[in-house]
Amino acid sequence: MADEVDDAARTAADETIAAVRVALRLLESVPHATVRAKAVGLVLAEWPELHRLPKEIRQQAAQTMNDQGLVFPEIGRLIGTDRSRVWRIAKGI
């Protein structure tokens, strides 16, 4: 079961990373260099905000597992970290 979860997680992560790369590569197709450079600058300016989204998704998942009755040591074992890190993830710290 753990191997299936690990494989599914790796597949989901790989697919998401590939989609992000494809989306970023769209910037290369902007023909006007000035517009392309400015667009990339705007994306980079938003990048810190974009980092919050995966953290929020992970936090929600940890909270859901905890709400379903799993304790932090169990969640940590399932996601490959320790209980104190899971607690911080669930609390958004």
Give the integer Cα–Cα distance in Å for 43 and 50. Answer: 9
Contact 45, 38 (CB under 8 A): no
Percentage of residues of the chain with pLDDT beyond 70:
98
The 10s digit of each residue's pLDDT in 34-48 is 999 999 999 989 888
Contact 76, 65 (CB under 8 A): no
Structural domain spans, the chain:
2-91
- SS3 letters across 61-80: HHHHHHHCCCCHHHHHHHHC
The 10s digit of each residue's pLDDT in 10-24 is 999 999 999 999 989
Give the pLDDT score at 53.
86
Mean pLDDT value of segment 68-83: 93
DSSP string, 32-64: SHHHHHHHHHHHHHHHHHHHHHHHHHHHHHHHH
> Residue 58 — very low, low, confident or very high, per pLDDT cuts 50/70/90?
very high
